[in-house]
Every structure is written in structure tokens, then in C-alpha cells.
Amino acid sequence: MNHPFRCALRLCLTVLPAAVFFMGCGSPDPGPVQAVGRPPVIEPDYSGIEIPPNLAPLNFRLQEKAEAFRIEAEGADGTGFRIRGRGRDVILPAGPWRRLLDANRGRDIRFSVTVRDSLGQWLRFDPIVNRVSHDSIDGYLVYRKMPPVCVFWKRLSVVERNLGSFKERVILDNRAMRDGCFNCHTFYGNRTDRWLVHLRGAPSTAMLLTVDGRTRLMRTQTESVPAAAAYASWHPDGRTLAFANMKVRQFFHTAGPNRDVYDLTSDLAVCRIDSAVVAAPPEIADPARLETYPAWAPDGKALYFCSAPAYDTTGFFERHTYRTIKYDLMKASHDPVTGGFGRPVTVLAAAKTGLSATHPRVSPDGRFLLFCLCEYGNFSIYRPGTDLYLMDLRTGDFRRLECNSGQSDSYHSWSANGRWFVFSSKRGDGVLARPYFAHVDADGAVSRPFVLPQKDPGLYGSHLYTFNVPELVAEPVRPGRKQILDAALDTQRTLNCRSAGPAAAASVGAGVEEQTWKPAR
């Protein structure tokens, strides 16, 4: 290498980065600083929250008249970092952020914010104080990203987000799937070796099922279970699925909350995936009732679900019958050996609350049941009054959580350790759902929720896509997206389930070891 070139390279490698560094830190040192006497307003609101120690930086935008800012982040142990910048967007450095969280597990961290206003005056705000949790959160969040639509779904994707960074990975995109719809991705125990997603319309109406990292279409519709599967739940044995099968109808109001949904019919069914046998046991498929939202208890010995009496469809709209459909929270015992169900018992009656119960999810330790209560019906994401409730299964006591808002707070998922849950909330604007996280301690106390952090702190303020069906998983989704897409498009290899028949319906698939499951390689 000749000498002038070496000099130029040295200049590039040393002087320029230094220049850039000093330019970046170039805001003048604050002279006299005026105390404001309150914490700064920031968006998203990351103040007074509990943070998982493995979460990406909580970038935020100052909602103050700021031309420049200085942030001092400091942990209780004295470690921390300082940043300066212009404008209002505060982008926290990933490395120091991780070190700060690591060093302060179980302790508070403080963010001291000083800003320079348009007159050149420096203003110091009271610090923002957050707490770093001892409990980690699962490494990934999988959600559906789409415009807030009801009829057409042209830009629909299932996205995996690395919670330790800002990396997003598209798992499924319906533009590559003939604009078909898909919904309710469901993972087995926060893992990704077994999971499913329901496809609708195109490429086919079936369940896209992944078992041990291999994916294949499975059609659960049979004579006894005519409708396609929805709202599935994995039994802890990893081989049995409970799901709802219903005829859904959507309609629109011209005033107030616009969208509405009701089920004409709805039953639960059970599918044994290794033998591809489907059954609708009468205990959970009562023609006189509408059963939906199954959720297994972690020990597999009970199935929680929601159930409402079937109704008369005469004058359904004129008499506002849809407003009277309210779901009870139910539980049916289950014998994992025989596969049989016991008579369902009411866990929480709609008559008691005056509200409709949806989306029961039991915490992994079996202690808590997280569910929604809404005004009526079962499509709680469309009802602005939907709130999250937590029931202590040891005592049966339940309470409305403090993390609720005036808008719909719905569709939740537990972390593998049961100390965090994520839920969809429309609190931002009433239209677009965003994923919020909250911590639950051993006594069921729930922390103030916070929204999924983004690299661009202004993203939620100008992003017209809704994030729904958030599911926490501990590992990246498997298999690769090419294999998933190929399996979704390979309708020829769809595995058609067969009906268990009336005799076997009461004990679906118990003892059946017929290996018909041959996933695509």
C-alpha cells in the first residue's frame, strides 16, 4: 500500500470518526438550567413501568418544545450512560442500555432529561423512574400486522419481532398466498416446534400445522365438525388441539362502534393431530349453547372456554338480539388418559357480571386466569369497553386489572415464565391495536403497561397498521418461511381429518397411535 493512500486511510479511520463523535455531542454544555418541577411528557409513555431485563431500548419522543436534549440514564448501582442530541427523538444506545438493565435487575433506573427550548434556555425535568424486573420476557413476539379492515385483507402478514432488538421478520405474507386470510397463530407452550395458523379462502381453508418443525396443511372439517377450525389451544401433551368451529357473521353499525360480529352456531371440537381424528364431544359441543375460545389448563386436566345459550334468530337485528348474547366462563374437566370430558361447570356466569366473557388464558403455573369481559358477544376487540380481568384460580376471586384503558384491551398471551403478558390495546386512538406488556408478580399485582418499543419512536404516531393477536414465544419461529409458504401453497398434500364417530366422540383419539401425520420435508 503506498504512503499517501495509507495516510488517507488513517485519516478516515481515526480523524473522521472522532469528528463525527464530537459533532454528535456538539450541543453546548448547559449553562444556567431551570428546573421544570415535573417529569417530561414522552411518547410512548415509558414512565413508572417495570421493564424486562432483556428488552430492546425504550426509544421515545419528547413531547416538549425541545431543540436539543441531554439524557442521563442511571441505575441504582451508579452505572449508566449519557446521550445528547438534537430534535425530540431519543434513541438509546443498545449496548449501554443492555448493560444498564443487566446491572440493575430488581432495581430502579432513572432518566434525567434536560432540554433546550427555542429561546436557548435549558430546562431540567424531574427524572423518569422505571424499574428493571428480575423476570425476563420471552425473546420474541409474533403478531399479525394489517390495516384495520373487516372485509378485504390485501396486506396481511404474520410478523416475528425480536424483543431484544428491533428486528422484524415476516413469517407469512398473504400477497404470496393469493391474498388469502390467516388468523390466530397458536404456539405450543411458547415454543415454535409446534404451532398452527388458520388459513381462510386461499390457498385453502385449512389449518397450517407445524409439528417438530415440519409444516403441512390439515383440514379439520368433517361431517361432525363442518366449520373450519378457529381459536385453537394446544393440550400440554402437544398432540391434542381444542378449537372452536363456528359460522361467523359480521355486520356494521352506522353510529357508535362500527363493526360487530356474532356467531350463528359455535361448538368446540378436539383434534388428535397424530391420527388426524376430529371429534365434537357433547360436553363441549352442546347444540343448545354456543361454545368458543377453548384454553387448556397447564396440567391438561381441564378445558376452560366461553359459552352462551343459543338464541332465536327471528328479528335478530330488529330486536337487537345480538346485544343480549353474553358468554359465561366455563370449565370442563378432562381425562388425558381416556380423552373424555366431564360435565362443564360455570366458572363465572354472565348473569353475575352482566358482561360477556372471552379469551380465557391460564397462566403457565396454573395460578391465574386472564380473560376479557365486554358488553356483549365474543368479538371483544371490536367492543371499546372490553377490559382484562384476572382470576385467582385458587380462590376464584377476580378483578378488573389496573392496566386497562377506556378503549378495547383484549387478546392476551402469557410469557413462558408466567410473569409477563402481552395484550392488544386500542388505547392510543381507538382504532389501531398495539401490543402492550405488563408484569404480574406472584400475588397477581400487575404493573403499568407499556407499548412494544420501536426503533423509530414516532412510528405509532404515523403508522396505519394494526398489530393484533400478539403471542409471546421463546424462540424464533420454525421452520424457515420458505418451507412455511411452500406448505401453505401445497394444497395437494392436505391431510384431511376424519370424524371420530359418535362412539369415540366422548373419548377422542385416546390410545390411537395411528401415524398418519407425515409432514412435508
Partner 1 sequence: MKTRTVKPEPQAKIPSAWPIVRDAAFFTALFLILLLRIDPSLIYHRQSPVFLLAFDFAAGFLNRPGGPFEWLSGLLSQALFSPPAGAALLTAMAWAVSRLTGALIRGLRPPDRFGFIHLVPAALLTGLHACYTVPLSADLGLLAVLAAAAAFVRVRPKWAPRLAACFIISLVLYYLAAGFFLLFTLLCVLIEAVHAKRPASGAVMTAAAVLIPTAARRFFILDPAGAWLSLLDFKRTDTAGAISLLLAAFFPALVLLLHPVMRRRPLLPERFRIRSPRVRFILQTAALAVLAAAAAVFPIEKSNRLLLTVDKMARFRQWERILNLASKEARPPLTVTFQANRALYHSGRLLDDLFTLPQPFGPSGLALPRKFSESAPLQESDFCWDLGSIDESRHWALEALSTDGETPWILKRLSLAHFVLGDTAAAVVCLNRMDRGLFLRGDAAAIRRMLSDSAAAAGDPAVLHGRAVIGRTGFIAFNGHPPAELDSLLRDHPDNRMALEYRVATDLLAGRLKDLPDFVRAFRALDYPRIPRHVEEALVLRWALSGEKDPPPEMRVVAPETVRRFGEFNRVLGRHRGDRAAAGADLQASFGGTYWYYAFTRQAAGRRAQAPSSENRGSR
Binding site for partner 1 (CB under 8 A): 146-155, 170, 172-173, 175-178, 251-256, 258-259, 317, 428-432, 456, 458-464, 480-482, 485, 489
The DSSP symbol for 447 reads P
Nearest approach in angstroms of CB 313 to partner 1 is: 14
Closest distance between partner 1 and the C-beta of residue 146, in Å? Answer: 7
Three cell numbers written together for 150: 373487516
- Shortest Å, Cβ 459 to partner 1: 7
22: helix, strand or coil = helix
Least separation in angstroms between residue 428's CB and partner 1 is 6
Query: What is the rounded distance in angstroms from the CA atom of residue 131 to the CA atom of residue 400?
Result: 23
Shortest distance (Å) from residue 63 CB to partner 1 = 12
| Comparison of 253 and 394: residue with beta carbon closer to partner 1 | 253
Sequential DSSP letters for 211-230: ETTEEEEEE---SSS-SPEE
- Which residue number, 178 or 399, has a Cβ lying nearer to partner 1? 178
**Minimum CB–partner distance for residue 385 and partner 1 (Å):** 15
- The Cα 166–Cα 387 span in angstroms is 29
Closer CB to partner 1, residue 176 or residue 474? 176
Give 56 or 172: the residue with its C-beta nearer to partner 1: 172
Q: Which is nearer to partner 1, 65 or 178 (CB)?
A: 178
Q: How far is the CB of 452 from partner 1 (least distance, A)?
A: 14
Give the three-state DSSP class for 492: helix
Q: Nearest distance from residue 430's CB to partner 1, in Å?
A: 5
Handedness of CA 449, 455, 461, 465 (dihedral sign): negative
Nearer to partner 1, 28 or 406 (CB): 406
Residue nearer to partner 1 on the CB measure, 321 or 333: 321
Integer Cα distance of 459 and 482 in angstroms: 29
Nearest distance, CB of residue 418 and partner 1, angstroms: 33
Q: CA–CA separation, 55 vs 42, rounded Å?
A: 19
What would the DSSP string read from start to end of 292-332? EEEEE-TTSSEEEEEEEE----TTTTTTTGGGG--PEEEEE
Name the minimum Å distance from CB 384 to partner 1: 11
C-alpha separations of 110 from 129, 132, 243 in Å: 5, 11, 46
CA distance linking residue 22 with residue 356, whole number of Å: 59
CA dihedral 131, 134, 139, 145 (to 10 degrees): -40
In angstroms, give the least distance from the CB of 172 to partner 1. 7
Quick one: 105 or 259, whose CB is closer to partner 1?
259
Q: What is the 3-state secondary structure (H, E, C) of 359-408?
A: EEEECCCCCEEEEEEECCCCCHHHCCCCEEEEEECCCCCEEECCCCCCCC
Closer CB to partner 1, 249 or 352, in the complex: 249
DSSP string, 75-86: ETTS-EEEEEEE
Toward partner 1, which CB reaches closer, 21 or 252? 252
Give strand pairing partners of 434.
425
- Compute the least distance from the CB of residue 10 to partner 1, in Å: 32
Beta strands in 57-190 (DSSP E): 60-62, 68-75, 80-86, 89-90, 108-116, 122-124, 128-132, 140-146, 157-162, 168-173, 181-188
Q: Say whether 276 sits in a helix, a strand or coil.
A: coil
3 state DSSP class of 174? helix
| Distance in angstroms (rounded) separating the CA atoms of residues 214 and 486 | 11
| 192 or 221: CB nearest partner 1 | 192
Whichever of 150 and 520 has its CB closer to partner 1, that residue is 150
Cβ neighbours of 159 (radius 10 Å) = 18
Q: How far is the CB of 324 from partner 1 (least distance, A)?
A: 15
Short-list 134, 258, 247, 236, CA closest to 191: 236
Q: Which helix (H) or strand (E) holds 278?
A: strand 277-279
- Rg of the chain over all Cα atoms, to the nearest angstrom: 26
